[in-house]
Amino acid sequence: MSEVEFYIARIEFDQQLTLFAGYNSENTEQDLFYEEMMAFTDRNTRVYPPEDDDEEEEPENEWFFGDVRGNNIINKSNSSNRCIVGKFGKSYRNDPEIYDREEADFVESEESTKESDYSMFIIDPVEEIIIFNQVYRVRNKNFKDNFERAYEAFRSEDDGSITLKFIDNNKSLTEILSEYTVTESELTVHPYADDAEDRVEIENLMNELGAREFTITPKSDLGLNTDSEFLRDSAELVEETGSDYEIVYKTESDLKAVKKSGKDNAILRDDRPNSVGWYVSHGSELIEYALSIDDEI
């Protein structure tokens, strides 16, 4: 099964939920959040673009929610959070290519087909966050943009809107090497920092290879030796020179976290979930990780 990446975002409402008709101002903020998100997501109609009775033809991309349900998630302190899990994805028009014997070539079929792809998610009303996995047709920014547009369409009469604000992983490479079990790394080393000549092993390797740069990709399911002087010197050079890198490490909940150059977002990696039930069984670890990296939650 192929691995996918998971992203975490805060859900920020641009208005007070108590302003919407039908909501009891005596309810707790958590109850209001849950009720609003459940009303928004638990629908079997197209959520974006909004359905229109006068619509002459289907849009190229249609966004839907699916298999939405409320579930209690037991957290680390054995208390229960009422969370929402579900699917969010799109149905899209596909114009496949077929082989034309007369043309002796592959040509676009005259018949379009409808296909779909979707991400899965969990929403925690207590922490006001959403965690979701991206897939080939629904990338992280694609998910964010259409989730926000769908909510704006849902609350169009009230001028309601929300923002998904991605949570970042602000740990440095050297911090990760010092604090966690690192299972994979890919470091592109450019030894051009001011004190690069002090890293003897790297200097010797560069001289021996006659190279201006090199990439190392050590892997170990049990964890790399992060006390290795060569690995630490390489990581320091990568940070000092702004070179490319990707590092995978285990969180306290034994999830796989990923830190990439040029990408501040907090990322987790795992096999693609086969049902929303995966989010129910792993919800507490996912939320625990989100809390561990973001002080604002």
Summarize pLDDT for 137-191 with one digit per residue, the tens. Answer: 899 999 999 999 999 999 887 778 999 999 999 999 999 999 999 999 999 987 6
Q: Is residue 154 located within the same domain as residue 32?
A: yes
DSSP single-letter state for residue 196: G
- 219: CB partners within 8 A, 6+ apart: 183, 184, 185
Q: Is residue 144 located within the same domain as residue 185?
A: no
Q: Is residue 183 located within the same domain as residue 228?
A: yes
Predicted confidence (pLDDT) per residue in 112-126, tens digit:
666 788 999 999 999
Q: Is residue 70 located within the same domain as residue 160?
A: yes
pLDDT(218) > 70: yes
Q: Is residue 66 located within the same domain as residue 143?
A: yes
Distance CA 27, CA 16 (A): 13
Return the SS3 of 151.
helix
Predicted confidence (pLDDT) per residue in 86-105, tens digit:
999 998 877 667 667 777 67
CB-CB contact of 96 with 254 (8 Å): no
Distance CA 164, CA 267 (A): 15
pLDDT(297) > 80: no
The CA–CA distances, whole Å, from 133 to 139, 225, 267, 273 equal 8, 30, 10, 8
Q: Is residue 106 located within the same domain as residue 237?
A: no
Q: Is residue 40 located within the same domain as residue 97?
A: yes
Task: Give the residue carrying structure tokens 């987790």.
Answer: 268
The CA–CA distances, whole Å, from 156 to 25, 38, 44, 137, 161 equal 21, 17, 18, 27, 8
262 pLDDT band, cuts 50/70/90, is confident
Total residue length of the chain? 297
Would you give the distance in Å from CA 202 to the centre of its chain?
A: 35
Give a yes or no: residue 44 inside a domain. Answer: yes
Where is average pLDDT lowest: 147-151, 232-236, 264-268?
A: 232-236
CB-CB contact of 9 with 167 (8 Å): yes
pLDDT(195) > 60: no
Find the domain containing 186 and state its range. Answer: 173-271
Q: Is 249 exposed, middle or buried (0-12, 13-18, 19+ CB in 10 A)?
A: buried
Q: For the chain, what is the domain count? A: 2
Give a yes or no: residue 87 inside a domain. Answer: yes
- Widest pairwise Cα distance in the chain: 74
Q: Is residue 72 located within the same domain as residue 193?
A: no
Residue that is last in its domain, among 166, 200, 220: 166
For position 88, what pLDDT does the model report? 95
Q: Is residue 264 located within the same domain as residue 231?
A: yes
Give a yes or no: residue 69 inside a domain. Answer: yes
- Pairing relation of β-strands 214-216 and 181-189? antiparallel
